[in-house]
Structure 1
């Protein structure tokens, strides 16, 4: 009886719910008024068709033309431009974390865009009805904040590309028993290179390939240097309250370098507006995930639910902190708890230290609280 009464109340609902299932070629739209579901497919990015389908859905689902519209889609390749465009149309939109969506645990289940958009629509209705655990919206950066992340991301890709060219050059040389102390000397030494032991001339095609690989290596290396110079220039010209000013502030701590500070501030601290330490650790995926059911009690490790790049940087930074900030309270804590343990225990301990350090850095940037016992750089 309660279900029937609830459905009757929902039939008079004057709210339109819209879920998107996005793909490269088409968008699957799922409309609902809590009772009926209407699905339509449009070409990807066809905004006029989307607005027309919204108006038609209001008519078909008996909603008034000025009824509120709530929508959602999964965070992914399309980024946040759809969110900003929907907000401009006075549509309340949520970009949701796909990893936090509830899934059916059956071994085999139906998978299609129609099924997915129907499930998203149900989650959206639950969330808008007050069940805040139904889905997890992500924080949407402004266009300027999103653009601030491009420099270090491009640098990261170029570093990988430069490493690939370097490895390829070394592999080609190893085929002939040649080892170079410095790969940057290849251009000068290439005309004189001889095969190991027998002293034969390097074959023509191999030599030409080495020359082309070296040209690509030099080009990428120069681009990396240009980006790093641009980063330093922006920090030296930083204004109060800017992201670059936070980078400069973080670098005042001993053990914090250019790339660590730039990455953590641009990707993590500058635009997320954390309210407490728990949110900081959770966003980085460094919080514990205990398993406690019946007589079974164990620790499953960290959640890994957040930004994996930040976790990687923080693990590396935690080791640097132990090396350069030996007198800090955090280093002393690690030494007392894990210094005499096995290699495995030290790896467990460094993850715990990374989380504590991340929280300490947040307090330092947000409230100016220097980590206890930490040293600042001179000058």
Structure 2
């Protein structure tokens, strides 16, 4: 419980900050439009009566203001936007009303805060998300090449696409129609440049995963199938502090639990909530598909990851791999839709990741 006298709500934008302070003793409100300068905001907060606590919504402006206020000794909570309670009949939204609403919620201790990452963790998270963006760019670049060739009636049939052999085949095409060759060369060069960007990011992530505060967690998570260095590092930096979660709550935190609408004796469940961290959820969804394959002969990459982990983590990972493969077999025997079954596997995989991340020894 916080013991502030004044609760301050900030509606933060790139070029302006609307502030509202609520005096918990007199009910008086103090409102001001400020610039985004952190020192100006701090001076105004310190001019309010009594001890003040501050909140603002998580958004594109980041966590710099929160870190600055915390360093100055001001309690600051960054509110999760999806958890803010709003009256269903409220149809008027302005910056001032948003700031007042945040101040009232903070006064009532109804703010659900997000975890404020350190500067280093946020930088690592930006690196992982840059790699995620490049992944999407590469997919789009490859689609542009394949569809351009398809419009000319050219289809590759020499095996798996986007390999070295396929790239040699792509270089063989020339066109005599004006403009077409330039369009093809541009698409091909874009694809090569994107691959180079991806490789440089992969190398940076691998280097950081091998020697950083995330190394221990990465080596432990790598004991599970489908979780290589890139996936393990992504989960480590996106979730951050695993101790704040439990094996039961991590599925809800990542939006992998079903929605529910129950009333009286009726209970209805729908698709997953998709709340929380979308990046970590996508990584788990992709990793869950690997557990559908038979687990009789672990691959070379998995055995190499086992060699980098402790015996206790290796034993825990093998237990999780057997359990998840058994779950896939059960779903397949019941003819469960693979997409639905995979989501359930991803939810359980999140729990196994949590158990490895907090493992002692």
Quickly name the TM-score band, shorter chain normalised.
0.7 to 0.9
RMSD over aligned Cα atoms: 2.5
Tell me the residue number matched to 2:51: 68
Partner of 2:5: 15
CA spacing shift, 1:41–1:347, aligned 2, 3 Å: same
The unaligned stretches of length 5 or more in structure 2 are 297-320
Q: Which residue of 1 aligns with 2:324?
A: 330
1:291 to 261, 281, 287: 261
The C-alpha deviation readout for 1:122-176, integer Å capped at 9, x for no partner, is 100001xxxxxx2210111111111122322111111111222222223333333
Bigger RCO (CA 8 Å, 6+ sep): 2
Are 2:10 and 1:36 equivalent residues in the alignment?
Answer: no
Give 1:104's aligned residue. Answer: 87
Task: Answer yes or no: is the 8 Å Cα contact 1:30–1:38 preserved in 2.
Answer: yes
Distance 1:272 1:20, change over 3 A: farther
Match of 2:181 in 1: 207
Q: Distance in 1 between matches of 2:339 and 2:181?
A: 44
2:343 counterpart of 1:363: no
Cα distance in 1 for residues equivalent to 2:186 and 2:341: 46
Counterpart-to-counterpart distance in 2, 1:275 and 1:307: 14
Of the three residues 323, 330, 333, the one matched with 1:340 is: 333
1:88 aligned onto 2:71: yes
Runs of 4+ in 1 over 4 A off after TM superposition: 180-183
| Match in the other structure for 1:312 | 282
What is the aligned counterpart of 1:123 among 67, 84, 105? 105
Is the contact made by 1:291 and 1:299 (CA closer than 8 Å) also made in structure 2?
A: yes
Alignment of 1:252-267 (within 5 A): 252-267=223-238
* TM, length-normalised to structure 2: 0.81
The corresponding residue for 1:250 is 221
Q: TM-score, normalised by structure 1?
A: 0.78
Instruction: Give, in angstroms, the shift of residue 343 of structure 1.
Output: 4.3
Q: What SS class does the counterpart of residue 79 from structure 1 fall into?
A: coil
Offset at residue 356 of structure 1 (A): 1.6
- Whole-angstrom distance in 1 between the partners of 2:59 and 2:286: 27
Question: What pairs up with 1:146-165 in 2 under 5 angstroms?
Answer: 146-165=122-141
* 8 Å contact from structure 1 (residues 286, 302) kept in 2: yes
Question: Is contact 1:145–1:271 with CA below 8 Å preserved after alignment?
Answer: no
Shift in Å, 1:202: 2.7
Cα distance in 2 for partners of 1:150, 1:14 equals 34
Q: Which runs of 5+ in 1 are unaligned?
A: 1-12, 128-133, 195-200, 370-379
- Structure with bigger gyration radius: 1
Is residue 273 of structure 2 the alignment partner of residue 303 of structure 1?
yes
- Equivalent position to 1:321, from 291, 311, 322: 291
Q: Is this contact kept in 2: 1:72–1:96, CA < 8 A?
A: yes
Structure 1 contact 254–324 (Cα < 8 Å) conserved: no
The answer to whether the Cα contact below 8 Å between 2:242 and 2:358 also exists between their aligned partners in 1 is no
| Cα 1:284–1:275 shift into 2, 3 Å | closer
Quick one: structure 1 residues 189 and 55, their matched pair in 2 at CA, closer, same or farther if it must change by over 3 Å?
A: same
Paired residues of 2:225 and 2:290 also in contact (CA < 8 A): no
Instruction: Classify the secondary structure of the residue corresponding to 1:29.
Output: strand
Q: Secondary structure at the match of 2:31?
A: strand
Contact 1:14 1:33 in 2 (8 A): no
1:176-195 equivalences under 5 Å are: 176-180=152-156, 184-185=167-168, 188-190=171-173, 193-194=174-175
Aligned residues: 326
